[in-house]
Amino acid sequence: MSQTSRDPASLTVEVDDRVASLLAEMTLAEKIGQMSQINIGDSYIHDYQADAIRAGRVGSVLNEVDVRVVNRLQRLAVEESRVGIPLLVGRDVIHGFQTVMPIPFGQAMSWNHDIVRAGARVAAREAARSGVNWTFAPMIDVARDPRWGRIAESFGEDPYLASELGRAMVEGLQGDDMASPESIAACAKHFAGYGAAESGRDYATTNIPENEMRNVYLRPFKAAVDGGVSTLMTSFSDIDGVPATANEFLLREVLRDEWNFDGLVVSDWDSIRQLCVHGLTENDEAAAFEAATAGVDMEMHGDAYARFLEGLVEQGRVNPALIDAAAGNILRIKFRLGLFENPYTDPEALPPPGNADALSTAREAAVESAVLLKNEHRALPLDASSLESLALIGPLADAPRDQLGTWVFDGDPSMSITPLAAIRSQLPGSVATEYVRALPTSRSRDVAGFDEAVAAARSSDAVILFLGEEAILSGEAHSRADIDLPGAQVELVRRVREAGKPTIAVIMTGRPLTLSNVVDQVDAILFLGHPGTMGGPAIADLLFGVASPSGKLPASLPRMVGQIPIYYCQKNTGKPPTPDTVVLLDDIDPNADQLSTGMTAYHLDAGYEPLFPFGHGLSYALFIYENIGLCRDEMHIGETLTISADLINASDRKAAEVAQLYVRDLYGSVTRPVRELKGFKRVELEPGERRRVEFEIGSDDLAFYGRDNRLAAEPGEFHAYIGGSSATELMTAFRLLA
């Protein structure tokens, strides 16, 4: 009988039985051995590493992707160690393996479960071919600070969107059957609150009250656990004084006791020994004690467990049952992956990397991951038949490595098709193109190429500027305090604008940027997270109207850095700003000695709104929402109701739109956000078509952690909004009754 046709409960019992009988055969040292992960890499196994595996002192390796070496490592573990337990083989497969999908922040712009799932499936297949059976993805940290370099790896600012897309990524990686040779184990990271690093400085301290932790940062993790994610990784951060890697509240009380997670928890890279650096523990032995008792099952690249756990058990300080539980969590995942049955990898049994299916998924993902921020005078799409010449300008027009973005250990830049190459091959021969890089890199201040760029713009019918951030400006330990377009790019835009030609900006980035200083200088902006291998063809499809943009922002774009954090799902405050209470510095006589403001929560120099709100994204079609309605205007706890609106495609082209449902809970035992995303749907409409978009919402969807930090829906009044962004005003109201 195949595993998939079996009842999951009986499989769990069977796996648990196998775990128990294996543990019964193992020595304490072998159990602790399972709790260590070592870095291999470089296609070379040192003698001391081979000896450690043979001696049963290693449960997992990371960073080796040469399949022959991986098979050799497995042979050492399976055939040459006493208990013969196969290894977990970990690798950061964050947004693709050889075929690179858009960065997760870009994929989040698609608001499309299916494309995120499909991209992860391609990544799993390609990685599995190298013998990798475990990836450290998805990163589902809610990220509300665009200065943080790792926002690139996130699904943005909203817990619901991150929950939905995180779960889709887990499904793609793990598949329906994790024991399939095409599946790998996923890892939800970084548990928890890593995205709240002070001032967006990677690794910096976080202070997150329990209520906010539960209502915001933990929600995507709960969704991932409910969705069957196999593993979790702790965060590097200090949370309210107790670093995540020693945080018993998170790792035991919440994760194990409340959520019943039975998978494995791995530390982040050396984060156990870092407990000393944080100033939590005196030495590595104390760090091993804190992490193990808090509930970290495996140590990633560090030796605190290997050196001290056995002694701690012998001294009676660590209960042997705790070691059994940790080793058991690790073995459980190995059984679920089918590693005991199939420890070796036959690459020929899996499809080759970069095949047609992988590339078409990557192209579709990139098309759907582009947000049309503005499009004045219908500057886009460009009509190739009415153009004679086109200037292609900027440091990211032809940057095969940079379009892949951060975290692409195995991504192959030689597979990238750049926008320059794609546009040249997709345009008819009748259109002449002139390419000027203008800046050697995105962060360069060398303006020597600007005259040539301006000349190219002057002699062309239209200009496309390829701007943004090169890959190394985002990702781990790559935070920025200034999130304008880097280098001399703002000046480049101003200079090119002097040519007076229709000007389109294509921005490829690792984070939300502040675009106030360029937004009025260009006619249209197409905004993408680094789009991956097939970024070029996708961008060409969008520029020339083969496809219409359908992406939506997964994070607000601030006007200026001082507004951060700015996110749609904020609290109302006691003095909420409204358009008529906002007096801006620019509107006040500069010589006035009194500033009489509206006394509400805004900045004198920035107002209270972002430049572009969460959920925003235009289309080449024109979508109109009207007639919001409810099936009834009351429901009791335990019931559901349907909220719907008409969506009209008031244009002559077929296109897709992401319709969004937001709810506001008007009062509660703790104050509630002004809006919360509760549903979204991608809808494709024919020209002129009108369709009713329906969302079903149950009282469970309205539940939140209240003053007692328990999850419950509270009776009261609610507003519901449907529209094409978080700023929609199309509203109705309902009541929740006890």
How many Å is the Cα radius of gyration of the chain? Answer: 27
Cβ atoms of 190 and 234 closer than 8 Å:
yes
Question: Would you count residue 202 as binding ligand BGC (CB under 6 A)?
Answer: no
Cβ atoms of 663 and 676 closer than 8 Å:
yes
Among 31, 144, 167, 189, binds ligand BGC (CB under 6 A): 189
SS3 250: helix
Question: Would you count residue 136 as binding ligand BGC (CB under 6 A)?
Answer: yes
From residue 467 to residue 506, the character string flagging contacts with ligand BGC as x (rule: CB under 6 A) and all else as - is ---------x------------------------------
- Cα 654 from chain centroid (whole Å): 29
Question: Would you count residue 238 as binding ligand BGC (CB under 6 A)?
Answer: no
d(CA 146, CA 144): 6
Least distance CB 92 / ligand BGC (angstroms): 5
Least distance CB 268 / ligand BGC (angstroms): 5
Q: Which two tokens stand for residue 27?
A: 């020595």
Least distance CB 509 / ligand BGC (angstroms): 20
Question: Would you count residue 701 as binding ligand BGC (CB under 6 A)?
Answer: no
Least distance CB 291 / ligand BGC (angstroms): 16
Question: Would you count residue 92 as binding ligand BGC (CB under 6 A)?
Answer: yes
Task: Name which of 202 and 646 has its Cβ closer to ligand BGC.
Answer: 202
d(CA 659, CA 695): 10
Task: Name which of 164 and 268 has its Cβ closer to ligand BGC.
Answer: 268
Site for ligand BGC in 613-632 (CB under 6 A): none
Site for ligand BGC in 349-408 (CB under 6 A): none
Task: Name which of 94 and 542 has its Cβ closer to ligand BGC.
Answer: 94
d(CA 207, CA 522): 40
SS3 54: helix
Question: Would you count residue 134 as binding ligand BGC (CB under 6 A)?
Answer: no
Least distance CB 464 / ligand BGC (angstroms): 35
Cβ atoms of 434 and 392 closer than 8 Å:
yes
SS3 423: helix
User: Helix/strand/coil (H, E, C) string of 520-556?
Assistant: CCCCEEEEEECCCCCHHHHHHHHHCCCCCCCCCCCCC
Task: Name which of 136 and 695 has its Cβ closer to ligand BGC.
Answer: 136
Site for ligand BGC in 427-456 (CB under 6 A): none
Question: Would you count residue 269 as binding ligand BGC (CB under 6 A)?
Answer: yes
Question: Would you count residue 268 as binding ligand BGC (CB under 6 A)?
Answer: yes
Residue closest to ligand BGC when measured from CB atoms? 136
Task: Name which of 268 and 402 has its Cβ closer to ligand BGC.
Answer: 268
d(CA 311, CA 304): 11
Q: Is 262 a catalytic residue?
A: no
User: Helix/strand/coil (H, E, C) string of 175-215?
Assistant: CCCCCCCCCCECEEEEECCHHHCHHHCCCCCECCCHHHHHH
Of the residues 262, 268, 410, 541, only one is catalytic, namely 268
Least distance CB 476 / ligand BGC (angstroms): 6
Sequence-separated contacts (24+) of 25-31 with Cβ below 8 Å: 25/83, 26/56, 26/83, 26/327, 27/56, 28/310, 28/313, 28/320, 28/323, 29/56, 29/57, 29/310, 30/56, 30/82, 30/83, 31/323, 31/324, 31/326, 31/327
Question: Would you count residue 191 as binding ligand BGC (CB under 6 A)?
Answer: no
Task: Report CA torsion sign: 433, 531, 372, 364.
Answer: positive
Number of residues that bind ligand BGC (CB under 6 A): 6
Residues lying near ligand BGC in the complex (CB under 6 A) are found at: 92, 136, 189, 268-269, 476
Catalytic sites, residue numbers: 268
